[in-house]
Amino acid sequence: MAENSRRDLKMIGTTTSAGGTFGNVKLIGESLLAGDVDCLKLSNIGELVVNGNLRAERLKMTGECEVHGSFTALTVRGRGEIKVRQKMRGESVKYTGNIEAGGDCEANSLELSGAFGVSGLLSADRLDVKMFGHCRAKEIGGTKLRVKRSKTSRLLNLVQSKERPMLNADQIEGDTVELEYTIAGIVRGNNVTIGAGCEIGFVEYRDKLNVHNSATVKKFVRL
């Protein structure tokens, strides 16, 4: 559909609308979109539920968004919580908060300060995570992967007794892999850094392997 034929949608308060194809969608309050949504830009402040698939060229989020289908976007920005029951795909994601995906989660670039839960594969050419909470994925793959505990979360742990931020994954594979506070069965890469607080079953590397003195690696091999 041509861009100039798309109508805009604006909702304020506690509102419900059918899905559809839109230009700019602006939502403030508690919003329900009762079907598939295809739009150029979606801006949400508050709580949003999409009863279907969501496709947006640009998503700007402050609050909570739950998508009952799959979610595809070119750029994702904001803070809060995004829950996708099926697959999530974003070209460029820069987010503060929590991201949950019931299937795979794919991105060219994913920068996250917070936590994530991915039931399938989390893949990104560039993954940069500062953990504030518990993170999990069945598998993680990409080119440059870096997962570290946020310095802010370390300070919070001095005064709070809640569970410390950790990453759990069955398998992690990338060209360059830097990990902290990670529990994983297998880690593979060309240049691998196993940082503080890691517990890794097996590491397979090609060029370099660095292991922090507080980390545990049960077995490693250089190819």
184-216, pLDDT tens digit by residue? 999 999 999 999 999 999 999 999 999 999 999
As a whole number, mean pLDDT of residues 89-106 equals 97
Average pLDDT, the chain: 93
3-class secondary structure, 151: helix
Residue partners of 159: CB distance under 8 A and separation at least 6: none
pLDDT tens, position by position, 142-186? 999 999 998 765 544 443 435 678 999 999 999 999 999 999 999
Residue with tokens 């080119």: 143
**What pLDDT is stored for residue 150 in this prediction?**
85
**What pLDDT is stored for residue 164 in this prediction?**
77
Higher pLDDT, 151 or 52: 52
Give the dihedral of Cα atoms 140, 141, 144, 145; nearest 10 deg: 10
Of the pLDDT bands very low, low, confident and very high (cuts 50, 70, 90), residue 4 is low
**What pLDDT is stored for residue 24 in this prediction?**
97
pLDDT(116) > 50: yes
CB 166 within 8 A of CB 137: no
**Residue length, the chain?**
223
Say how many C-beta atoms besides its own lie within 10 A of residue 2's C-beta.
Answer: 5
B/e letters for 138-147, b = 16+ CB within 10 Å, e = fewer, are: ebbbbebbbb
SS (H, E, C) 85-106: CCCEEEEEEEEEEEEEECCCEE
**What pLDDT is stored for residue 1 in this prediction?**
45
Higher pLDDT, 22 or 156: 22
**What pLDDT is stored for residue 13 in this prediction?**
97
> How much is the pTM?
0.91
